[in-house]
């Protein structure tokens, strides 16, 4: 009687393990994408509530615009310690936007997630955009954002239809 496995049997087992591993890695990648998006929704919603509470305590005035950061004094309205968390995607940052719409003169209040470091040239060489369908056309001025009030957009210097992703808007 023969002991052990034949070469064909071993190759079949290795092939099956390879196929199962591929499915596992694909599922893992989707789970990571979904968890980042979910984390972004949760954090932006929480920050928006903090900003609304701030405005109530400051006679309906919103904090001034802050570039690539959140407004000082907001930590009083949030349950965080010492420093702001990084945004959900790798190397992304929160950005509080308090703008005046150039076409209407109306205020725009939103919390953005920026994927590029502050760069006076506007280069995308160091940007880390999410691997998502909604971010495929992103450029230096693009953002994912949570709209609190007004005609929210990726960047005040760009038209309202410039590539960006409103997380709390209905798509």
What percentage of the chain has pLDDT greater than the value 90? 57
What is the per-residue pLDDT for 28?
Answer: 66
Tell me how far apart the alpha carbons of residues 91 and 85 are, in angstroms, rounded to a whole number. Answer: 11
Share of the chain above pLDDT 70, in %: 91
Between 73 and 83, residue with greater pLDDT: 73
Q: Which residue has the higher pLDDT, 5 or 137?
A: 137
Average pLDDT, the chain: 88
The domain ranges of the chain are: 7-166
Give the pLDDT confidence score for residue 119 in this predicted structure: 77
At residue 147, the pLDDT reads 97
> Rounded mean pLDDT of 103-131?
90
Residue 26's pLDDT band (boundaries 50, 70, 90)?
low
Helix (H, G, I), strand (E, B) or coil at 108: strand
In the predicted structure, residue 80 carries a pLDDT above the cut 80: no
Higher pLDDT among residues 119 and 107, named by residue: 107
Are 115 and 123 spatial neighbours (Cβ–Cβ below 8 Å)?
no
Secondary structure element (H or E) that encloses residue 147, with its range: strand 143-149
């Amino acid at each position: 009687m023969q002991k052990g496995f034949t070469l064909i049997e071993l190759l079949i087992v290795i092939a099956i393990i390879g196929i199962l591993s591929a499915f596992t890695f694909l599922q893992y990648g989707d789970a990571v994408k979904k968890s980042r998006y979910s984390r972004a929704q949760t954090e932006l919603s929480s920050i928006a509530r903090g900003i609304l509470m701030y405005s109530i305590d400051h006679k309906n005035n919103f904090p001034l615009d802050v570039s690539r950061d959140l407004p000082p004094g907001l930590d009083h309205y949030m349950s965080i310690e010492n420093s702001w968390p990084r945004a959900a995607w790798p190397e992304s940052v929160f950005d509080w936007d308090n703008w005046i719409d150039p076409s209407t003169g109306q205020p725009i209040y939103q919390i953005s997630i920026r994927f590029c470091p502050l760069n006076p040239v506007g280069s995308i060489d160091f940007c880390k955009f999410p691997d998502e369908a909604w971010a495929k056309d992103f450029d230096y001025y693009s953002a994912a954002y949570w709209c609190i009030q007004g005609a929210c957009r990726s960047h005040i210097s760009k038209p309202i239809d410039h590539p960006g992703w409103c997380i709390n808007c209905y798509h």
